[in-house]
């Protein structure tokens, strides 16, 4: 059964069937349902292969992540999928697994599937081993980076002001009377650089000395870093972490060292993830608004695909999610 037969059986034009198949253009809900019923009854499978050759267009987008097990990445991928589905696009998620080695292969696979656009989740994609193949291979489709901006005319970015978010969090600690505040970073990414800069700005503004540490992006990494910090810096009264998972590890180390949180040491994470409500005490966190990042990225992509004018960069602000590991600032906010 061809698209012509479907159109005849549903009593609509071929163009209408095509719009229903592609989930694009305006089709009334009743008409859509009638066409879908015929498609379903015939178990019609549109040959995207043939369609692709004819129109060079499929209704799908690709999402590249480094590690889909990371709640940060999977939350954003989930929101992208939900939002793109509303506009009639299927979302194909590809997961690289820690090294840039397979990026080229995945980009080729997505291109040969004729995806309409590609998302990159994570500022790690701005690093040169990733950015180079992206520039080489993706010159012809819209590219949206969630949290960053690539130097390409067809690239769009969702930027979360994590520098400002971290600065505000450290200012909050200072307002609550904390003075010896350390910062723990855990990935060699633009995102972590921005967080570190925010910390340094807040400390400099109050003439306070910085103490920084670097650790593996894991529970054990954060635990080790915090244990080292309190050993080498007695009197430390707060730690700002670049990730919730490392902050949660930090809580373990502080407890093992006999330090009370937040009475002796205040702790703040970043991502405002599920982890914050699972650990004890519950973790205060810089909320870099993962759900909004995913939604904004998808909306930016849809605008690009529909050739609607829209800003090249969408900027989001962080919020602060206060829980039990920080105290209220001494003088309010």
Binding site for a second copy (CB under 8 A): 23, 40, 43, 45-53, 58-60, 67-69, 71, 74-75, 77-78, 81-82, 85, 90-95, 97, 102, 104-106, 108-109, 111-114, 136-137, 219, 245, 248, 274-275, 277-280
Strand partners, 239: 182, 267
CB of 277 to a second copy, least distance (A): 6
If the CB atoms of residues 212 and 218 are measured against a second copy, the closer one turns out to be 218
Contact in structure between 22 and 88 (CB atoms under 8 Å): yes
Kind plus residue range of the DSSP H or E element containing 287: strand 284-287
If the CB atoms of residues 119 and 199 are measured against a second copy, the closer one turns out to be 119
If the CB atoms of residues 79 and 181 are measured against a second copy, the closer one turns out to be 79
CB of 279 to a second copy, least distance (A): 5
- Please list, in sequence order, all residues whose beta carbon lies within 8 angstroms of the beta carbon of residue 63, skipping any fewer than 6 positions away: 77, 80, 81, 91, 92, 93, 94, 118, 119, 121
CB of 255 to a second copy, least distance (A): 8
Whose tokens are 């925010």? That residue is 198
- Please list, in sequence order, all residues whose beta carbon lies within 8 angstroms of the beta carbon of residue 150, skipping any fewer than 6 positions away: 120, 125, 126, 131, 134, 135, 143, 157
If the CB atoms of residues 63 and 168 are measured against a second copy, the closer one turns out to be 63
If the CB atoms of residues 194 and 273 are measured against a second copy, the closer one turns out to be 273
If the CB atoms of residues 171 and 224 are measured against a second copy, the closer one turns out to be 224
What count of Cα atoms within 13 Å lies in the side-chain half-sphere of residue 196?
A: 15
Q: Give the 3-state secondary structure of residue 156.
A: strand
Report DSSP state, residue 74. Answer: H
CB of 163 to a second copy, least distance (A): 27
CB of 317 to a second copy, least distance (A): 23
Whose tokens are 């698209």? That residue is 3
CB of 39 to a second copy, least distance (A): 9
């Amino acid at each position: 059964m061809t698209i012509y037969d479907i159109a005849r059986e549903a009593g609509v034009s071929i163009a209408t069937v095509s719009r229903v198949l592609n989930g694009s253009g305006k089709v009334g809900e009743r008409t859509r349902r009638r066409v879908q019923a015929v498609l379903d009854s015939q178990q019609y499978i549109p040959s995207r292969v043939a369609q692709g050759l004819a129109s060079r267009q499929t209704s799908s987008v690709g999402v590249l992540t480094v590690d889909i097990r990371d709640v940060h990445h999977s939350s954003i991928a989930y929101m992208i999928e939900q939002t793109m589905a509303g506009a009639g696009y299927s979302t194909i998620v590809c997961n690289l697994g820690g090294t840039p080695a397979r990026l080229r292969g995945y980009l080729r696979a997505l291109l040969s599937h004729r995806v309409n656009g590609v998302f990159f989740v994570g500022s790690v994609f701005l690093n040169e081993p990733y950015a180079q193949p992206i520039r080489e291979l993706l010159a012809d489709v819209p590219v949206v980076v969630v949290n960053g901006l690539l130097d390409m005319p067809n690239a769009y970015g969702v930027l979360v002001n994590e520098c400002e978010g971290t600065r505000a969090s450290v200012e909050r600690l200072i307002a609550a009377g904390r003075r010896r505040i350390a910062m723990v970073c855990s990935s060699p990414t633009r995102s972590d650089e921005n967080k570190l800069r925010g910390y340094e700005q807040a400390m400099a503004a109050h003439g306070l000395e910085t103490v920084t540490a670097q650790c593996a992006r894991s529970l054990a990494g954060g635990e080790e870093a915090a244990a080292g910090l309190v050993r080498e810096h007695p009197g430390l009264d707060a730690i700002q972490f670049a990730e919730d998972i490392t902050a949660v590890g930090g809580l373990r180390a502080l407890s093992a060292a006999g330090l009370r949180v937040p009475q002796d040491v205040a702790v703040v994470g970043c991502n405002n993830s599920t982890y914050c409500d699972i650990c004890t005490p519950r973790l205060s966190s810089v909320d870099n608004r993962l759900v909004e990042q995913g939604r904004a990225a998808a909306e930016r992509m849809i605008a690009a695909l529909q050739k609607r004018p829209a800003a090249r960069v969408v900027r989001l602000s962080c919020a602060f999610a206060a829980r039990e590991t920080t105290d209220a600032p001494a003088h309010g906010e």
